[in-house]
């Protein structure tokens, strides 16, 4: 538990209530209102949880004003440059960077779990051919609880561990299968001699008739995309996973709930929406029209890939992603593609525009990731599944932390009721 050395005093309705204040290792103090209702007969109101911490966590820290993101204390820029995705997975799950022996053991365990139960192939075939891969993923990841009974007991630490490894290993396989199914190609089995990112690329782009040679620069870019999406503290999908898990639901069901929440365009679905928006804009001369629409209060349109609930300076992931986009496009010789021209000009105009500057709306991680994934050959429908497979480790790390936290209870927010007060039933003939 965080240190508790201060108190806050709330005076309301003639009562004075002393509330403990917890000091985190870094970041603003947190007023503990758990006893508020019992002592003051009053609730707090905070839609969107803009000022409310729902848990204690030691995994990820974000300083939105400074544009800082730390995983277990390590800055994302250093991890993106020096680490690799499976090492970041280990760090998030277990709290420390692994030794050489620990990472070797971890990689072996993950690699040995990458195949899915053969009967799951039949499960895929139940989906419509043109199903969005996210729809398939929500269903298939949830269905893992029907295939892996021996890792659904949340009270058994060994089963929790196996479920974690299984999900990190199998969710990329499921995402690739969802893609293959959607384009009518046969599933490609994982290959254990490839690294995690290369294996995923191959499962998406190889066909039985022709092997896919993974370019190391593309594999490194894919690995970086995975690292940059691995965790982001208590965002909407992670909070969904925690809320689902707080009832004691099995881990596969909880991660499926997280995938469902991620799908929305305000969250992980923004990468698909952003690229589609860039294509819709089409040419640089049409940008002012879209900027105008984004500012219009009567138009629901928003510039996708801009803005963030927490980052009010810049998104550190976007900085690394932008650099990666430049590398990939240079490698593929497509620096001048029209979508990229629109993206660059849109970024330039938005960063100078008063509306965006005053509201602190900067390009976020989704603004650049789609450009890289598009260049790699992924259709827009695969962008959010790739976010989901990368975030799986974050969700499962947060879920494991929650299960081990004695202070956690079933999540059950209160409400500010504005409906009718009690009234008597009216017979139909009298209405």
Residues engaged in binding ligand CMC (CB under 6 A): 235, 266-268, 270, 294, 302-309, 359, 361, 364-366
Measured from the CB atom, the residue of 178 and 361 that comes closer to ligand CMC is: 361
Catalytic-role residue among 71, 84, 232, 308: 308
Are β-strands 74-75 and 68-71 bridged in parallel, bridged antiparallel, or unpaired?
antiparallel
Instruction: Between 138 and 304, name the residue whose CB sits nearer to ligand CMC.
Output: 304
Buried (b) or exposed (e) across 172-204, using 16+ Cβ within 10 A? bbbbbbbbbbbeeeebbebeeebbbbbbbbbbb
Closest CA to 254 of 173, 344, 138: 138
Per the annotation, the verdict on 46 as an active-site residue is: no
Which residue's C-beta sits nearest to ligand CMC?
307
Which residue lies nearer to ligand CMC by CB, 34 or 359?
Answer: 359
Residue 215 DSSP symbol = P
Spatial contact of 271 and 384, defined as CB atoms under 8 Å apart? yes
Q: Closest distance between ligand CMC and the C-beta of residue 272, in Å?
A: 11
Which of 158/301 has CB closer to ligand CMC? 301
- Of 79 and 294, the one with the shorter C-beta distance to ligand CMC is 294
CA–CA dist 27, 23 (Å, integer): 8
Q: Output the CA–CA distances (angstroms, integers) from residue 138 to 227, 235, 243, in the order listed.
A: 22, 18, 17
Closest CA to 140 of 392, 403, 371: 392
Minimum CB separation from ligand CMC for residue 294, in Å?
Answer: 4
315 part of the active site = no
Nearer to ligand CMC, 154 or 346 (CB): 346
* Smallest distance from ligand CMC to CB 295, Å: 7
Q: Own/partner pairs for 91-95, CB < 8 Å, 24+ apart?
A: 92/59, 92/60, 92/230, 92/231, 92/393, 92/394, 92/397, 93/164, 93/393, 93/396, 93/397, 93/400, 95/58
Q: Are 303 and 346 in contact (CB under 8 A)?
A: yes
Spell 384-416 as b/e; 16+ CB within 10 A means b: bbbbbbbbbbbbbbbbbbbbeeeebeebeeeee
The distance of closest approach from Cβ of residue 293 to ligand CMC in the complex, given in angstroms and rounded to an integer, is: 9
221 or 294, CB closer to ligand CMC? 294
Using DSSP, how many helices (H) and how many strands (E) does the chain show?
Answer: 18, 6
Which lies closer to ligand CMC via its Cβ, residue 69 or residue 214?
A: 69
The percent of the chain in helix, strand and coil, each rounded to the nearest 5, is 55, 10, 40
Rounding to the nearest 10 degrees, give the CA dihedral for residues 300, 301, 302, 304.
130
Rounded to a whole number of angstroms, the minimum distance from the CB of residue 364 to ligand CMC is: 4
**Closest CB 297 distance from ligand CMC, rounded Å:** 7
Distance (Å) of CA 16 to CA 35, 214, 237, 241, 344: 13, 66, 37, 36, 55
> Whole-number minimum distance, CB 315 to ligand CMC, in Å?
7
Nearest CA to 391 among 136, 124, 172? 172
Question: What is the nearest approach in angstroms of ligand CMC to the Cβ of residue 430?
Answer: 44
Active site residues: 308, 366
């Amino acid at each position: 538990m965080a240190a508790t050395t201060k108190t806050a005093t709330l005076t309301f309705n003639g009562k004075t209530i002393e509330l403990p204040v917890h000091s985190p290792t870094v970041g603003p103090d947190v007023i503990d209102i758990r006893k508020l209702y019992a002592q003051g007969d009053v609730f707090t109101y905070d839609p969107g949880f803009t000022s409310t911490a729902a848990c204690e966590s030691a995994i990820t820290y974000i300083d939105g004003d400074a544009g800082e993101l730390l995983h277990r204390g390590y800055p994302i820029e250093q991890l993106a440059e020096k680490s690799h995705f499976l090492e970041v997975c280990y760090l998030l799950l277990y709290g420390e960077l692994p030794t050489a022996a620990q990472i070797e053991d971890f990689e072996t365990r993950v690699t040995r779990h990458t195949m899915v139960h053969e009967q799951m192939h039949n499960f895929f075939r139940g989906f419509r051919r043109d199903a969005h891969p996210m729809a398939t993923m929500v269903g298939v990841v949830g269905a893992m609880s029907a295939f892996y009974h021996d890792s659904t007991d949340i009270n058994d630490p060994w089963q929790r561990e196996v479920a974690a490894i299984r999900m990190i290993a199998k969710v990329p396989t499921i995402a690739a299968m969802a893609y293959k199914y959607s384009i009518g190609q046969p599933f490609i089995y994982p290959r254990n001699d490839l690294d995690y990112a290369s294996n995923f690329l191959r499962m998406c782009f190889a066909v039985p008739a022709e092997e896919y040679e993974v370019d190391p620069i593309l594999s490194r870019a894919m690995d970086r995309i995975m690292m940059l999406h691995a965790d982001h503290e208590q965002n909407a999908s992670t909070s969904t996973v925690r809320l689902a898990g707080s009832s004691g639901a099995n881990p596969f069901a909880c991660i499926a709930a997280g995938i469902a929440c991620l799908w929305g365009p305000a969250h992980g679905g923004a990468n698909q929406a952003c690229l589609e928006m860039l294509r819709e804009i089409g040419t640089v001369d049409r940008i002012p029209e879209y900027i105008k629409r984004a500012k219009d209060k009567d138009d629901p349109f928003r510039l996708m890939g801009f803005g963030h609930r927490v980052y009010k300076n810049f998104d550190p992931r976007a900085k690394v992603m932008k650099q990666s986009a430049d590398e990939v496009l240079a490698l593929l010789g497509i620096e001048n593609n029209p979508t990229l021209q629109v993206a660059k000009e849109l970024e330039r105009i938005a960063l100078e525009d008063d509306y965006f500057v005053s509201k602190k709306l900067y390009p976020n991680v989704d603004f650049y990731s789609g450009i890289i994934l598009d260049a790699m050959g992924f259709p827009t429908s695969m962008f959010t599944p790739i976010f989901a497979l990368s975030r799986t480790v974050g969700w499962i790390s947060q879920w494991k932390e929650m299960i081990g936290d004695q202070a956690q209870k079933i999540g059950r927010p209160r409400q500010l009721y504005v409906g009718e007060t009690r009234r008597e039933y009216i017979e139909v003939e009298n209405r």
